[in-house]
Each structure stands twice: as C-alpha cells, then as structure tokens.
Amino acid sequence: MSGGGTAAGELVWVPAAAVIAREAGARLREFYAQGVETEYKGDVDLVTVADRTVEKLIHTRMSEAFPEHGIFGEEGTRERLDAEFRWYVDPLDGTTNFAHGFPQFCVSLGLEQRPAGTKPDEDGTLVAGVIYDPMRDELYAAERGRGATLNGRPMHVSRAKDLGEALLATGFPSRKRHASPNVHFYQEFTLRSHGVRRAGSAALDLAYVACGRLDAFWEFNLNPWDTAAGILLVEEAGGRVTDYAGQHYRLASDEILASNGPIHGELMGLFADMFAGRDLAPIPTPREFAERRAKTGTRNIGT
C-alpha cells in the first residue's frame, strides 16, 4: 500500500484514503447533528471535540492502511516525519462553519513524497489528495499524473478567460486579524469580477476551483493541512497554483493563488498593482456615505 508498482491507470493511495475520508466525514456528520461545544485556540480560531476525535480516527486508520507513512495533522499528530511519504491531515476544515451549523466543511488529506535527503525546510512532491464534503457526499480525489475526479468522474477547471467573467473566493485569517490587508483585495476583486465568495473552508474552495464552480481562489497564511490536497486537485484538473507573484507555491508559502490558468496572469497583475499602491478604486468611507446620504436624502446606494 505504501509504494508504486501498479498497473497503468490504477490508483495507488486514493482508494484507501477515500475510505478513510468517508469514515471521517460520517463521524463529522454525527457530531454536526448532535451539536458540539466550541473552544478557542486563540482569537477566533475555534476547535471542537469533533476536530480532535476525527483526527484521532484518521491517525488510527492511516497507520493501518499506510504503516510506513508519516502524518502531520492540524490538531497535533506528528508521526514518522522522517518517512518518504507524509500525509497532511485537516480532520475538519471549516470549523467555524461547523460550530455554527453552517454546512460548508470537509476532511482534507494530502500526500507528499519526500525522497531521502529532502531537507526539513524543503518541499517534496504532492502525489495524492482527497477532500470529502460530508454534507453533500462529494469526494474529490487526485493522484499526480492521473487527473482529478469528483465522485469518480473526471473533473476540470473552468474555461473563464477574463477576470470580468469570473467567480472568485477568498478567506480571512482567524489569528492576528488586524494585520490582514485582505479586505482591500476583496474589494478590488469584487469590483472586477462576478463576485468573491467567503465560504469558510479553504480546502473546499480549492476543490471548487478544481471542479470549475469557482474560477480562482486566494488567501494569506494558510497551512499545509489546508492546502496540500487542494493544490494537487487544482493542478490535476488543469489549473495553476502559485504565490501572488507567480512563483512556485511551497507548502510554507504565506500566500496562495489558485486558478483555472487563463485568468492567472490578470490576477497576478492586480496583486502587483495593489502591492505597489496602483489601481485602488476609492471606496466611500462610512462617514462620506452618511454625509452624501444626508445631503441627497436618499437611502439608496444606487442613486
């Protein structure tokens, strides 16, 4: 189960990982139905008994299915980190949604191959990814070089050619919120596209780029357990993943830009302009807005 040597077209890691993701997702559904207490890891970074229990379950199942593989989990699992293969595990991506009863969350399992000699701060190669949305019973999967699937059917990124016809997504940090400039990017991208969604699960955002429901996604300061599986899904579905400047995306990168490919250049151009202070569309401050409204006597923004 832990290495290559299979017939052409046969998937090596996805079948067992998919079984684990489905079992983990079923457990999340049970917790979701019964309701859980919320604890704070910091600021508005939430955690629940579901995050911890499901990470333990995944740890157990992965150790059975892939006894030689390492595991790096959001809730603290650190196992065999010198192994050639390492799973990045997010047992519950979208905890805030989950805790509020907002049905947008998933299990994310991404596999990195780290050949002997890979330095601790070097990336290996992402070779498999599975994301499971238990509320919609949607399983996204990919292995490098073998394409990507949604519930077993091939999936592809969208064909949008321009930002003006694109639907985008982003997310905002749950720690050091005051230091984030992302609301400026949110505004600019909103003005130039069909809209920007903030649905609260970065892994599902990436899966949605991969299957063409979204044309692009960006976010600051994600972690490898949020992104590892989704990056491979996007790439195997024909899309592109870099940092905002178009550099190769590393798991430790603090910016991710994933797109269908054709609109990547336009997105990067806007990031470059904005970081240089160019092209900012002025937004009325609440005070300017209130003054104008008082003068014109109308409550309608459009008039």
| Binding region for ligand IPD (CB under 6 A) | 74, 90, 93-96, 171-174, 200-202, 219, 222, 226
Instruction: Name the residue with tokens 């999340």.
Output: 28
Q: Which residue is nearest to ligand IPD, using beta carbons?
A: 171
Which 3 state secondary structure label does DSSP give 288? helix
Which 3 state secondary structure label does DSSP give 38? strand
131: left (phi over 0), alpha (psi -120 to 50) or beta: beta
Q: Is 226 in the site for Ca ion (CB under 5 A)?
A: yes
Q: Is 205 in the site for Ca ion (CB under 5 A)?
A: no
Point out which residues pair with 78 in neighbouring strands.
72
In 3D space, the residue among 214, 228, 239 whose CA is nearest the CA of residue 87 turns out to be 228
Contacted by 174, from ligand IPD, Ca ion, none: CB < 5 to 8 Å by type = ligand IPD
CB nearer Ca ion, residue 205 or residue 235: 205
Q: Which of 24, 71, 90, 270 binds Ca ion (CB under 5 A)?
A: 90
- Minimal distance, residue 211 CB to ligand IPD, in Å: 17
CB nearer Ca ion, residue 97 or residue 158: 97
Instruction: Name the residue with tokens 């050639």.
Output: 84
Residue 203 identity (one-letter amino acid): A
Q: Is 219 in the site for Ca ion (CB under 5 A)?
A: no
Contacted by 173, from Ca ion, ligand IPD, none: CB < 5 to 8 Å by type = ligand IPD
CB nearer ligand IPD, residue 66 or residue 217: 217
